[in-house]
Structure 1
């Protein structure tokens, strides 16, 4: 996996937008102005949201992910050597979690995810 591949996956998700809120080369993917994935300037992986702290810890304990620095404990960091299917799954889970937290009105403006 690479920054380009992750960006391509995120770009396919309805309503997903790329921004660099802090400047300097962060790739922050948002839906409805809420972040669901972030690649830092170091570019050693991507941070994504999980359903809860317990899921994040389970993925860390299983060796699938590491703690995402500077994020809430429900976020994890996936390195570039993460299996492609796992990476896509974690990105879409994060997207779905954030999308579900949006207001119903805002959700209604987004195309369905295929």
Structure 2
């Protein structure tokens, strides 16, 4: 697992946009101007949004994820060291889908479907 792996996954999602709002060390992926994935300067893992706080708590309790620094309780950090590629991809897709569903309907309609 790496920053490059996450970036390639995120880049393939409809309407996903890359930015570096906190400087070149922090990679942020957005859909509709809302963050769905972020990689901090330490490259420890990728921070993603869960559908709810309970899911985030369950992932942390199961040891799959950690508390995401600087984010709300519904966000988790999926560590590069311990997460496998399939779990990381799933978490990124869930985060993307969660954020996309929160966008205004007009904006959602302009985005291509996710495969």
* TM-score (normalizing by structure 1): 0.97
The residue aligned with 2:100 is: 99
Task: Quote the RMSD (CA, aligned, Å).
Answer: 0.7
Task: State the aligned residue count.
Answer: 114
Residues in 2 aligned to 1:42 and 1:26: alpha-carbon distance in whole angstroms = 9
User: What secondary structure, in the 3-state scheme, does the structure 2 residue paired with 1:36 have?
Assistant: strand
2:61 matched residue in structure 1: 61
| Deviations 1:3-47 (CA, angstroms, capped at 9, x unpaired) | 000000000100000001111411000000000000011111000
SS state of the match for residue 48, structure 1? strand
Unaligned runs of 5+ in 1: none
Q: Which consecutive segments of 4 or more residues in structure 1 shift more than 4 A? A: none
* SS of the residue 1:73 aligns to: coil
1:89 equivalenced with 2:90 (yes/no): yes
- List runs of 5+ in structure 2 lacking aligned partners: none
Alignment of 1:18-97 (within 5 A): 18-81=18-81, 82-97=83-98
TM-score, normalising length: structure 2 = 0.97
